[in-house]
């Protein structure tokens, strides 16, 4: 029999997967049901997009980790909610439909069936009675319902704005869906070139929650790197709004600055090319240059425009602003390094104290005026651009003040004269929420005489109609516009033809799992409170690539729901763990284009799901990226074969039978100590997500037990309970073979006796004048005099003690014995 067929995993695994499903063994108990009196634990995976290529081994890493925790927590006495569903709207299915003519609903159903088959073949303990699908009208009815709550609160609105448009995909994309490359901005999905284009779009006012989104990060247990990414994306800046009158005009230009103390160093103003006042301040003789420059800037990405190393470009408008304190004339320029999406889209340029302003001033020979000097030396080279804090100089009434005090004083002066005010700005922009696609949730909105009107809750869901042609027009008009009988309603209103982005369904799916079959509400208050209190989902496992997009959007929706009293916690996800990326064998990220994807189906057929589960976790720390190695599967598989043979033997006809040397009696003390040590260490490793070291300790445990001539049933049972979260199929089978009628899934997790963890023997280092001359293995707390006697008898130590007098003996209990001799005469 080959090593790979060393135990009958091909029979065991389907048997127990069928048993778990038929028994509904992992069904969570809702409030009021039997089992709901236990403490609850909600462990959640980021649900997958069911693509046509199926799951690969990289996808399974996070699911395996969450399943280990779910199984462990059940055995620790928790009522565990561990659900699974499908994030199934979006571009891939639509693009496939455009290419093949197959309706996205058909391919989505096929893909879900394949994903579900692969997931169930891994033996994950999901509560399949709670399965959800974002494309199911019974689900997206409530996505639409939540959108209407946002609309009612004024958090959903329509505006025309320059947005990213992908000619290949024929749809607009959110800022977060754009990647910036040396060849220009491209779509994250498909890596197509994108352009800026004015579109009338739906937006969600996520900016209204900027401060709450920042504050909430202090109350969750997330990796600090993820928190920092969200803080950076939100981009809070404290500063001042300052008004600059425009010469010979009735209006003022408002600028935002984080350094109002440098106001006296402003020598010109710069407007973003998109700023609405560019038209007003540009003189006739400069208009052609300004228009040409604006057109060119419009095609650039924000990253290209703000790149510090690039040569600064710009055009003078011909207009002037007036300094609010001194009345000095300041020329107004247009430059693409200023963004309309940050601050007010206008800046006061202080080239002596801002690097970009400095480069711009040098390029166009504009004045550079120093107004802050370093506090430590009071000197600064005239050509330097000093951006730090220090002491104000040449700044009238704030000269001599340190930066903090200068900021305060100048803002007070401006506020007294209604020329400015203290304020906070955020880099975060409102969320572009509409797409020119077919395969998405329809908006529950109709239009009449240019006004958006909410569809009645009673008329939800607004069903997605069938189409034959899923392609948007070349002008970016959504394909739903072709379905005239759907768009044009008898009352004279017209339906919104754009659809929601894929993010909509994933913003709240974790809440639907709490009450997935509720037809009257998205979820009941009782069930939401039971599963989400006191602080949200207890454990959320998924990839770090969702740090900004999904997590930020879901937190925003959750906070809105919290404010209107629909959820009981201010944050959705309490603890977040990011699994590392499993790379291909070529050390590159797995992808179809690279041809390095490893399909789990073949591995399960050759080695079994338990081997694959163990190997995924044994590769290294969960949070770290690591390369795949198919050769490495042999080790975990041999380990499981050793486990099998601890219990089972072959009879003369090649059948597996329970070993006859398994005894139902107390093991000797060394085995008891090994057992309790293993329980303690594996428990601690699971709690700390150190699954690779937990497996290593289980391997040591099995190796030691294999050396013994006797098999103690109580010890073997503990082994199975410890191993079962990692390799549940083989453990269920062996548990059953030991005579247990019920599954081990709800057996109590083994406990350990701390007294048995104490070392009964210690190693004493013996030194002669501080030099190590030997070691003594003795019982803990051995008497000092007995140690001296033992040292005199020890063959390698005794020769150093013969015929010599020592002045003292240094003794550190259970560690050290040092003989200090008098110097020889």
- CA dihedral for 119, 120, 122, 126, sign (positive or negative): positive
Please give, one letter per residue, the 3-state secondary structure of 359-396: HHHHHHCCCCCCCEECCCCCCCCCCCCCCCCCEECCCH
Q: Say whether 270 sits in a helix, a strand or coil.
A: strand
Q: Distance between CA atoms of 406 and 259, rounded to whole angstroms? A: 9
Could you tell me the maximum CA-CA distance found in the chain, to the nearest angstrom?
A: 119
Q: Contact 172/434 with Cβ under 8 angstroms?
A: yes
Q: Distance between CA atoms of 596 and 92, rounded to whole angstroms? A: 20
- CA dihedral for 323, 326, 330, 335, sign (positive or negative): negative
Q: Distance between CA atoms of 611 and 622, rounded to whole angstroms? A: 17
Secondary structure letter of residue 432 according to DSSP: E
Q: Say whether 226 sits in a helix, a strand or coil.
A: helix
Q: Which parts of 594-651 are beta strand (E)?
A: 626-627, 648-650
Q: Distance between CA atoms of 812 and 291, rounded to whole angstroms? A: 85
Q: Rounded to the nearest 5 degrees, what angle is found at the Cα of 61, between the Cα atoms of 623 and 625?
A: 40
Q: Torsions phi, psi of 509, nearest 5? A: -60, -35
Of 71, 89, 63, 79, the C-alpha closest to 16 is 71
Q: Contact 312/335 with Cβ under 8 angstroms?
A: yes
Of 631, 736, 564, 582, the C-alpha closest to 145 is 564
Q: Which two tokens stand for residue 164?
A: 């990213």
Secondary structure letter of residue 206 according to DSSP: G
What radius of gyration do the chain's Cα atoms show?
35
Q: Torsions phi, psi of 172, nearest 5? A: -85, 160
Q: Distance between CA atoms of 677 and 128, rounded to whole angstroms? A: 36
Instruction: Give, rounded to a whole angstrom, the gap between the first and last alpha carbons of the chain.
Output: 75
Q: Distance between CA atoms of 681 and 661, rounded to whole angstroms? A: 28
Q: Torsions phi, psi of 271, nearest 5? A: -105, 145
Q: Distance between CA atoms of 116 and 84, rounded to whole angstroms? A: 9
- What are the respective helix, strand and coil percentages of the chain, to the nearest 5? 40, 20, 40
Output the CA–CA distances (angstroms, integers) from residue 693 to 619, 685, 730, in the order listed.
10, 7, 20
Q: Which two tokens stand for residue 258?
A: 């984080």
Q: Torsions phi, psi of 374, nearest 5? A: -60, 140
What is the H or E stretch that residue 684 is in?
Answer: helix 669-687
Q: Which two tokens stand for residue 384?
A: 């330097």
Q: Contact 726/614 with Cβ under 8 angstroms?
A: yes
Output the CA–CA distances (angstroms, integers) from residue 553 to 43, 164, 173, 604, in the order listed.
20, 19, 15, 36
Q: Torsions phi, psi of 815, nearest 5? A: -135, -50
Q: Is 713 annotated as a binding residue?
A: no
Q: Distance between CA atoms of 402 and 255, rounded to whole angstroms? A: 23
Bond from prior residue into 112 cis (ω within 30 degrees of 0): no
Of 744, 681, 692, 757, the C-alpha closest to 716 is 744
**Residues annotated in the binding site for ATP, as ranges?**
592
**Residues annotated in the binding site, as ranges?**
592
């Amino acid at each position: 029999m080959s090593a790979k067929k060393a135990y009958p995993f091909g029979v065991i695994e389907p048997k127990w997967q069928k048993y778990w499903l038929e028994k509904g063994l992992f069904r969570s108990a809702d409030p009021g049901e039997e089992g709901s009196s236990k403490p609850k634990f909600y462990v959640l995976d980021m649900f997958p997009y069911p693509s046509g290529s199926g799951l690969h081994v990289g996808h399974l890493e996070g699911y395996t980790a969450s399943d280990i925790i779910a199984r462990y927590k059940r055995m620790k006495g928790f009522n565990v909610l561990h659900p699974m569903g499908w994030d199934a709207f979006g571009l891939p299915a639509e693009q496939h439909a455009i290419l093949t003519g197959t309706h996205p609903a058909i391919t989505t159903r096929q893909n879900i069936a394949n994903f579900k088959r692969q997931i169930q073949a891994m033996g994950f303990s999901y509560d399949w009675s709670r399965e959800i699908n974002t494309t199911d009208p019974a689900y997206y009815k409530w996505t639409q319902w939540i959108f209407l709550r946002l609309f009612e609160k004024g958090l959903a609105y329509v505006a025309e704005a320059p947005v990213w448009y992908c000619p290949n995909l024929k749809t607009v994309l959110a800022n977060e869906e754009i990647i910036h490359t040396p060849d220009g901005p491209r779509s994250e999905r498909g890596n197509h070139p994108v352009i800026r284009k004015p579109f009338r779009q739906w937006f969600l006012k996520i900016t209204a929650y900027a401060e709450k989104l920042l504050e909430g990060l202090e109350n969750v247990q997330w990796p600090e790197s993820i928190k920092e990414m969200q803080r950076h994306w939100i981009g809070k800046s404290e500063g001042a709004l300052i008004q600059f009158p425009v010469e010979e005009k009735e209006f003022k230009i408002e600028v935002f600055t984080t350094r109002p103390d440098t106001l006296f160093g402003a020598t010109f103003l710069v407007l973003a090319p998109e700023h609405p006042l560019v038209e007003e301040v540009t003189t006739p003789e400069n208009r052609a240059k300004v228009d040409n420059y604006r057109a060119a800037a419009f095609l650039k990405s924000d990253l290209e425009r703000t790149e510090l190393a690039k040569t600064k470009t710009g055009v003078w408008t011909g207009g002037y602003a007036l300094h609010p304190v001194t009345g000095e004339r300041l020329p107004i320029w247009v430059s693409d390094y200023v963004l309309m999406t940050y601050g007010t889209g206008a800046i006061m340029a202080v080239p002596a104290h801002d690097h970009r302003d400095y480069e711009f001033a040098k390029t166009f020979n504009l004045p550079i005026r120093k107004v802050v000097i370093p506090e430590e030396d009071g000197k600064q080279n005239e050509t330097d651009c000093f951006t730090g804090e220090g002491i104000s100089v040449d700044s009238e009434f704030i000269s001599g003040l340190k930066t903090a005090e200068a900021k305060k004083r100048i803002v007070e002066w401006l506020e007294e004269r209604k020329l400015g005010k203290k304020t906070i700005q955020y880099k975060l922009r409102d969320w572009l929420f509409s797409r020119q696609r077919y395969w998405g949730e329809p908006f529950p909105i109709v239009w009449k005489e240019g006004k958006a009107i909410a569809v009645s809750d009673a008329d939800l869901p607004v069903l997605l109609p069938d189409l034959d042609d899923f392609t948007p027009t070349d002008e970016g008009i959504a394909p739903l516009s072709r379905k005239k009988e759907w768009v044009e309603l008898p009352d004279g209103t017209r339906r919104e033809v754009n659809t929601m982005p894929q993010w909509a369904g994933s913003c709240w799916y974790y809440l639907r799992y709490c009450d997935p079959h509720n037809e009257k509400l998205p979820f009941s208050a009782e069930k939401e409170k039971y599963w989400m209190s006191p602080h949200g989902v207890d454990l959320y496992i998924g990839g770090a690539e969702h740090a900004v997009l999904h997590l930020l959007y879901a937190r925003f929706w959750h906070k809105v729901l919290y404010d209107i009293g629909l959820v009981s916690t201010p944050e959705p996800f309490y603890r977040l763990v990011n699994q590392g990326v499993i790379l291909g064998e070529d050390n590159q990220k797995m992808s179809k284009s690279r041809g390095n994807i490893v399909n789990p189906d073949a591995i399960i057929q050759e080695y079994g799901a338990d081997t694959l589960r163990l190997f995924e976790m044994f590769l290294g720390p969960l949070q770290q990226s690591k390369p795949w190695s198919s050769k490495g599967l042999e080790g975990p598989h041999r380990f499981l074969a050793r486990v099998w043979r601890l219990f089972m033997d072959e009879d003369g006809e090649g059948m597996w039978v329970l070993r006859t040397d398994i005894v139902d009696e107390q093991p000797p003390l060394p085995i008891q100590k090994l057992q309790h040590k293993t329980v303690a260490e594996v428990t601690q490793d699971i709690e700390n997500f150190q699954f690779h070291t937990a497996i290593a300790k289980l391997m040591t445990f099995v190796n030691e037990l294999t050396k013994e001539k006797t098999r103690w049933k109580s010890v073997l049972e503990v082994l199975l309970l410890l191993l079962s979260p990692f390799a549940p199929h083989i453990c269920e089978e062996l548990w059953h073979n030991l005579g247990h009628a019920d599954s081990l899934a709800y057996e109590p997790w083994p406990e350990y006796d701390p007294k048995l963890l104490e070392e009964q023997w210690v190693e004493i280092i013996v030194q002669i004048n501080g030099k190590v001359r030997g070691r003594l293995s003795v019982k803990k707390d051995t008497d000092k005099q007995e140690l001296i006697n033992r040292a005199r008898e020890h063959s390698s130590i005794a020769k150093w003690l013969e015929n010599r007098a020592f002045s003292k003996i240094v003794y550190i209990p259970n560690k050290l014995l040092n003989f200090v001799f008098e110097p020889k005469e």
